[in-house]
Amino acid sequence: MTLPKTLPKTLPETMRCITVPTPGGPEAMQMGIAALPVLKEDEILIRVQAAGVNRPDVQQRLGLYPPPPGASPLLGLEVAGEVVALGAMASGFFPGHKVTALCNGGGYAEYVAVPAGQCLPWPEGYDAIKSAALPENFFTVWANVFDIAGLKPAESLLVHGGTSGIGLTAIQLAAAQGSQVFATAGSAEKCAYLERYGVPAINYKEQDFSAVIHEQTEKRGVDVVLDMVGGPYIQKNIRALAQRGRLVQVAFMQGSKAELDLMTVMTKRLTITGSTMRPRTAGEKAAIATSLKQKAWPLLDQGKIAPVIDKVFAWEDAAAAHRLMESSRHIGKIMLRVAD
């Protein structure tokens, strides 16, 4: 069946969206009007009902994380909503389907165009808010912890930022396959929250996490470290790793440069790697989506794992959502409600 490239006449020509005319603080975001996205052949058009707030959104708002070539200049990397139109070569969905999607940008809007391969159905019993809380974290964790680092059930994982959306996703997916998990957090409250998942929690403000891991693993270390801090954590991560361990970097909140002892890397035969999601090709992201649908979505359908949502804001209050993100007081996801 060949689907039309042009949009149905029932769709508007313009849409409301959040714009950032000049980079700056949360107040730099403004509600504006833009033309409806023009679909490419492999894309679907989604009427957005909910969008997730992520640290890359904050960085882009500040002018520090420009979108890749060809991507929407608007903020927003994950949404959930209803399919309203398809490109000529898009497959797997039809108008009316409820989908959640990893966007290349443009999620803070009433409509967004996304390659069909980056979309997944809502899990069983989920609404738009819960569904939109999934893509950025699940794509990132699956690609880095399971594809790149190859975490196995019998292995152990140390997750930094354990109460972040990425942290809680990594903890749940690793524990679901039987891996031993450790995590760091920055307050007694957050450590207590992690212990609900049966995870030994390390308060990094009070303890040297590498020393705690050394003690709790009987000097063996962990097989994989998932880090989003960088900077001063690098050498400690290396000390915390076991023989043939893998350090996976997904961000560097405290800097991308660090001094490290390569002798330890060599003697332990370590692998230091990492990746960013946004610049990956549509084909690479589609492959991750396929793995998620096969291996992670059944866990969501069955209620064995679930996203943790800290607070939901009306999208007109996106500035308040960004302030909460920047405060790091949240546990889990921060969401925007765009439409019913």
Q: pLDDT (tens digit, 9 = 90+) per residue, 36-83?
A: 999 999 999 999 999 999 999 999 999 999 999 989 999 999 999 999
> What do you get for the CA distance between the two ends of the chain, in Å?
31
How many other C-beta atoms are found inside a 10 Å radius of the C-beta of residue 141?
28
Query: In this predicted model, what pLDDT tens digit does every residue of 197-226 receive, in sequence order?
Result: 999 999 999 999 999 999 999 999 999 999
What is the Cα–Cα distance from 64 to 83, expressed in whole angstroms?
32
Residue 6 scores a pLDDT above 50? no
Query: In this predicted model, what pLDDT tens digit does every residue of 115-138 receive, in sequence order?
Result: 999 999 999 999 999 999 999 999
pLDDT confidence of 84, banded at 50, 70, 90? very high
- Which CATH class name applies to 138-274? alpha beta
- CA angle (225, 228, 229) in 5-degree steps: 105
- CATH homologous superfamily, domain 14-134+278-337: Medium-chain alcohol dehydrogenases, catalytic domain (3.90.180.10)
More confident residue, 255 or 59: 59
* Residues near 81 by beta carbon (within 8 Å), at least 6 away in sequence: 46, 47, 48, 49, 50, 98, 99, 128, 338, 339
Strand partners, 249: 227, 274
State the pairing for strand pair 78-86/98-102.
antiparallel
Residue 4 scores a pLDDT above 50? no
* 139 and 288 Cβ atoms separated by less than 8 Å: yes
Residue 262 scores a pLDDT above 60? yes
φ, ψ dihedrals at 39, nearest 5°: -70, 135
DSSP 157: E
- CA angle (139, 155, 194) in 5-degree steps: 65
* 311 and 324 Cβ atoms separated by less than 8 Å: yes
More confident residue, 259 or 238: 238
Q: What is the mean pLDDT of residues 238-250?
A: 97
Average pLDDT, the chain: 95
pLDDT confidence of 8, banded at 50, 70, 90? low
Strands of the chain (E only): list them: 14-19, 30-35, 43-53, 78-86, 98-102, 111-115, 119-121, 156-159, 180-185, 201-203, 222-227, 241-249, 271-274, 309-314, 333-337
Residue 283 scores a pLDDT above 90? yes
* 5 and 87 Cβ atoms separated by less than 8 Å: yes
Give me the residue spans of the domains in the chain: 14-134+278-337, 138-274
What is the Cα–Cα distance from 292 to 322, expressed in whole angstroms?
28
What is the Cα–Cα distance from 78 to 46, expressed in whole angstroms?
11
Poorest-pLDDT segment among 15-19, 226-230, 257-261, 306-310: 257-261
Strand partners, 98: 82
- How many CA atoms lie less than 13 Å away from 26 in the CB half-sphere? 15
pLDDT confidence of 3, banded at 50, 70, 90? very low
Residue 1 scores a pLDDT above 50? no
Q: What is residue 258's predicted lDDT score, i.e. its pLDDT?
A: 83
Q: What is the mean pLDDT of residues 142-149?
A: 98
φ, ψ dihedrals at 193, nearest 5°: -65, -45
Q: What is residue 9's predicted lDDT score, i.e. its pLDDT?
A: 56
List the structure tokens of 279.
Answer: 């610049």
Q: What is residue 254's predicted lDDT score, i.e. its pLDDT?
A: 81
Q: What is residue 2's predicted lDDT score, i.e. its pLDDT?
A: 39
